[in-house]
Structure 1
Amino acid sequence: MTTIHPTAIVEPGAQLHETVEVAPYAIIGAHVKIGARTRIGSHTVVEGHTTLGEDNVIGHYASIGGQPQDMKYRGEPTQLVIGDRNTIREFTTLHTGTTQDRGVTTIGNDNWIMAYVHIGHDCYLGSNIIMSSNAQLAGHVQVDDHAIIGGMSGVHQFVRIGAHAMLGGASALVQDIPPFVIAAGNKAEPHGINVEGLRRRGFSAEAISTLRSAYRLLYKNGLTLEEAKVQLRELERQGGDGDAPVKLLTDFVDASQRGIIR
């Protein structure tokens, strides 16, 4: 049976699974859908056209599904869609999308989103991401699986952070971070491959060695970006255990719209 504290407000039309828990003074809007075993903290507001999956934990005073901070927004019924098993801590702000983009802000599964984090309109977050306290994403940012974003960092709109990449604390990111790369600073610059993170996730020694070679081609050998792309494709074609990660990195660099950090 759904556990809703008597002081909480659940507007007519909201769809809550029978196992959802809603703490004191929380407010759930009319267009909200919440999946099984999700817990909503006290004084939290979940509004807009927001869907929460199963087994999420939302901290106190969070603002989930608010209108996008975009001056072009005119009240369109855009969405926020959150997957399963996410932890979203206190005072976080997650906004719905805009019609200028996909119209939906998307959060995947198994993410750890710490206190005071802001995720702007039309962002796309994959799964198994860590965002430390006070990290801020502007609109239209994409963060791929297993990325880590340090506390007090700011990410410019339309930037993409690749899979397994790491952005250090108190950094300002204005261009894309390729997969597997560590970046830090104001403005953020590359500082090698996220070796320890890759080891923890089961990457082989061969794969890590190949990625280090790819990093040298991209950043250390004095090549232009176009020259580095050619060399990266050649490294990818050599095959072996490390070729799939190199392909992921090279495909990312080819697809970058804002350009990668250099």
Structure 2
Amino acid sequence: MSDTARIHPTAVVDPAARLGEGVSVGAFTWIGAEVEIGDGCEIGPHCSFHGPTRIGRDNRFVGHAAVGGEPQDKKFAGERTELVIGDRNVFREFVTLNRGTGGGGGITRIGDDNWLLAYTHVAHDCIVGNHCIFSNNTTLAGHVTVGDWVIISGFAGAHQFCRIGDHAFLAMGALANGDVTPFTMIGGNSLGRPRGINSEGLKRRGFSPERIAAIKRAYRTLFVAGLPLAEAREQLAQQAQDSEDVRLLLDFIDGGERPLLR
């Protein structure tokens, strides 16, 4: 344990845990064995950290977070699995993050620069990218994959094994029971459906009008034209010759096991 770690007198830290430089630990927090917490992390009160868990630097856990707990999977038999968290993430009140399962790859992974707001749940074997925002009560079931720059609104979530592509947006209360393509907005009110592209988000991230126009054209081909998926894919392959963004969309379509949310 670093000599510069600041630990509240009521906190309990296992001797086998490793805390980096400048880590602060709030009141009544519990940190177990095989937990590694990187430099500069700030941990609020009443949190729990179970290992094996590896956490990068400059993360903030506001309070009452449950990190690295056993997966909520009846098939889990105590095998060694992990939770791995990157850098500069914010985890608000009552966030729950579970470790992976032996049958699902063994690791739950969260990238860098994400905001997970109150009561967010990330289940076993999920993979979350970078720069995502999960609003209050976002729920990811097991084995969900989330790309970069994804926004999930309050009380929304995803079914097991679903994928959510880069720059997607899920509206309040949207439930994804299929793969959500990159750049796509999913409407709320229970089972979500595509409602256009996330053009405002793309503008904020510096996408040019030409790039956004190409993405809109691809969206119309896939979701509006009424084409069978195989035929839409052929047209997208032509469009992808002039657009890396459409190529990303096409690669996403070809890479999944679950049906597209269409």
Matches within 5 A, 1:127-142: 127-142=130-145
- Report the 3-state secondary structure (helix = DSSP H, G, I; strand = E; otherwise coil) of the residue aligned with 2:9: coil
CA apart distance, 1:120: 0.1
* Alpha-carbon shift at residue 126 of structure 1 (Å): 0.4
User: Does residue 231 of structure 1 match 2:230?
Assistant: no
CA distance in 2, matches of 1:25, 1:158: 35
Larger CA deviation: 179-188 vs 98-107: 179-188
> Which residue identity does 2:67 align to in structure 1?
I
Alignment of 1:50-199 (within 5 A): 50-185=53-188, 186-199=190-203
Q: Could you report, residue by residue, the CA deviation over 1:41-77 in whole angstroms, capped at 9, with x for unpaired residues? A: 1000011201110000001110000000000111112
Q: Which amino acid aligns with 2:89?
A: N
Letter in 2 for 1:196: E
Q: Which residue of 2 aligns with 1:261?
A: 261
2:245 partner letter: P
Offset of residue 154 of structure 1: 2.4
Q: What is the CA distance between 1:259 and its match in structure 2?
A: 1.2
The partner residue of 1:3 within 6, 11, 33 is: 6
Alignment partner of 1:65: what SS? strand
Do 2:180 and 2:261's aligned partners in 1 also have CA atoms closer than 8 Å?
Answer: yes
Give the equivalent residue in structure 2 for 1:245: 245
Q: What SS is found at the alignment partner of 1:100?
A: helix
- CA distance in 2: counterparts of 1:72 and 1:66, whole angstroms: 15
After TM superposition, give the deviation of residue 200 of structure 1 in Å. 0.3
Whether the 8 Å contact between 2:80 and 2:102 is mirrored in structure 1 is no
**Is the Cα contact below 8 Å between 1:48 and 1:77 reproduced in 2?**
no
1:22 & 1:5 partners in 2: Cα distance? 6
| Superposed displacement of residue 19, structure 1 | 1.0
The 5-angstrom pairing of residues 211-230 of structure 1 reads 211-230=215-234
SS in 1 for 2:187: strand
Q: Residue 109 of structure 1 aligns to which amino acid in structure 2?
A: D
1:96 Cα deviation (Å)?
0.1
Q: Percentage identity across aligned positions?
A: 48
TM-score by structure 1 length? 0.97
Return the alpha-carbon distance in structure 1 between the equivalents of residues 151 and 192 of structure 2: 14
Which amino acid in the other structure matches residue 232 of structure 2? A
Query: CA-atom RMSD, angstroms?
Result: 0.7
Separation of aligned partners in 1, 2:131 and 2:26: 26
Number of equivalent positions = 258
Amino acid at match of 2:25: V
The alpha carbon displacement at 1:106 in A equals 0.1
**Letter of the aligned partner of 1:141 in structure 2?**
V
